[in-house]
Structure 1
Amino acid sequence: FDQFLFFTGSNRAEVVASQVANVHHPDHPGLEDFGDVVLRGNGGAGYVRVDWFTPDGLNTWGDGRLTVLGTDGFIEIRKNVDMAGRPGGDHLFLVDQKQTSYVECKDQPLPYGEQLVSDVLDRTETAVPQEHVFLAMQLALEAEKKAQRLSL
């Protein structure tokens, strides 16, 4: 929800729909191994999906990705793996009206974690404003509360 708010620039948002299911683990009846949510904010709309369906053939623990769609193109960030075979993580693909390009991001600084720790210790808001965090948490709780339980 944090990334949705950040990339859309939304400071107001709502959960349009959400659902959860235990698709593949009937031996653990309380487990939710699938969930998704549709969001609408004052800066855009979004979709979030999580699942525990990483195939054994994938050489990493998960397939974290982020897609940002616009009217003239999109960006896809692949956190852990490039399906085309480039080693490592932190891959960015940019598609616009003229081309598809690849940006290697492994050497890009990632200051968020360090800034967040400093914010907690120093009571500052350099990594993320508190209102943003509260809204992201509110959306997560709302999505869980509203989630339809699927039987698949």
Structure 2
Amino acid sequence: MSAIRLRLGVIGIEHLHLFEMVDGLLNVGAETVCHAAGDGPLTAMYEGWRPESERRPVDAVLADPSLDLVVLAGVPSERAGMALAALAAGRHVLSAKPAVTTLDDLDALDIVGAGPARWWVFFSERLCNRAVNEAIRLVHAGAIGEVVAVTGAAPHTLAADSRPEWFFDPSRSGGILTDLITHQADQMTALVGHFTPAVMSATVENVATPHHPEFQDLGRVSLRTEIDGRVILSDHHVDWLSPAGLGTWGDVRLVITGTTGTIEVRSNIDVAGESGAEHLILVDADSARRVDCSGVVIDWAERLRTDIELGTDTFVSHVHTVDACRAAIRAQRAAEAFRDR
């Protein structure tokens, strides 16, 4: 039996992650059918790249029964509503992160998305980074014993002049933790499984963006979770402060501490070290060594296509999606409550 050719509809073109999502799906045979988006530089870029995609109103995209998958990359605060509408129309949904910005919307998506008929999932860095994927595989293989602590750092480049107005409004963007910690919460869930952490401390600040006083350019959260009696601590730092001289958008790192070893991932760059990206350093009882990740297969799009075709569950589970989103939103709410008290 030949694989199905996924027919894609896009709603919202407000983030560059859309291009990465669509490109991955095109590589496994998908076709771009239509899109709904306002005018803007990213929409113009998309229409130049995918001229066969017909621009339609949102309702017309949702009403097209030929579509298999709706890809969402609009304003973050609007994504959950669009996802609920797409699921109600019988479509699978792949969303840019953050896929949801409030706990009420997450609860609604948890109910609707938990059914067997349709997928609601979001796209994260983990899916397309070979070193992160290899780190998760090594942890599951027992390379560093039991995971006891995880530290993540994800500085980003602000490039304020290129950002739309909604980006600086936490009520529309979700805030820095809801947005950027989603990546790290997704990694935690992939590493340790069902993940319902307690927020031990959380903070958001504006330290270097005075022209946008409501904007949050720095955020931190400490989490504690217990799985089968085992405590796992995690600390996560995010910011919009990457210096121009770095050479990439952010020096993103992941450090996993186990009972018998450690793993460090340097996702984008090894500052003043080895060239390229996707670096992994493993330390165990035998040695400290770099692990070549160049042969790791990036297959997220193929797994999603197969799940849609066969009704399997190989891409990412609904529980995983909800756990990651809930952890990020709860961290954001805790930080804002502390700041406002």
Give the TM interval when normalised to the shorter protein.
0.7 to 0.9
Any unmatched runs of 5+ in structure 1? none
What are the Cα deviations for residues 78-119 of structure 1, in whole angstroms up to 9, with x where unaligned?
111112432211110011234210112133112234424554
Which residue, 136, 149, 152 being the options, matches 2:339? 149
**Structure showing the higher helix proportion among its residues:** 2
Range with greater deviation from structure 2 (109-118 or 13-22) = 109-118
Tell me which residue corresponds to 2:293.
105
Tell me which residue corresponds to 2:236.
48
Contact 1:93 1:102 in 2 (8 A): yes
Contact 1:64 1:80 in 2 (8 A): yes
Which residue, 283, 286, 290 being the options, matches 1:95? 283
| TM-score, structure 2 as length reference | 0.40
Which residue, 319, 325, 328 being the options, matches 1:137? 325
Higher Cα Rg, which structure = 2
Contact 1:91 1:106 in 2 (8 A): no
Q: State the alpha-carbon separation in 2 of the partners of residues 127 and 10 from structure 1.
A: 15
Q: State the alpha-carbon separation in 1 of the partners of residues 299 and 247 from structure 2.
A: 27
| TM-score, structure 1 as length reference | 0.85
Q: State the alpha-carbon separation in 2 of the partners of residues 105 and 90 from structure 1.
A: 7
Alignment of 1:14-29 (within 5 A): 14-29=198-213
Assess, with a 3 A threshold, how the Cα gap between structure 1 residues 109 and 55 changes in structure 2: closer, same or farther. Answer: same
Tell me which residue corresponds to 2:265.
77
Assess, with a 3 A threshold, how the Cα gap between structure 1 residues 17 and 61 changes in structure 2: closer, same or farther. Answer: same
Task: Specify the SS of the correspondent of 2:268.
Answer: coil
Quick one: percent identity of the two aligned structures?
Answer: 38
Tell me which residue corresponds to 2:197.
13
- Relative CO higher for 1 or 2, CA cutoff 8 Å, sep ≥ 6? 1
Equivalent residue pairs, number: 150
Any unmatched runs of 5+ in structure 2? 1-184
Q: State the alpha-carbon separation in 2 of the partners of residues 105 and 124 from structure 1.
A: 27
Specify the code of the residue in structure 2 equivalent to 1:110: I
Alignment of 1:56-75 (within 5 A): 56-75=244-263
**Structure showing the higher strand proportion among its residues:** 1
Contact 1:112 1:127 in 2 (8 A): yes
Assess, with a 3 A threshold, how the Cα gap between structure 1 residues 149 and 8 changes in structure 2: closer, same or farther. Answer: same
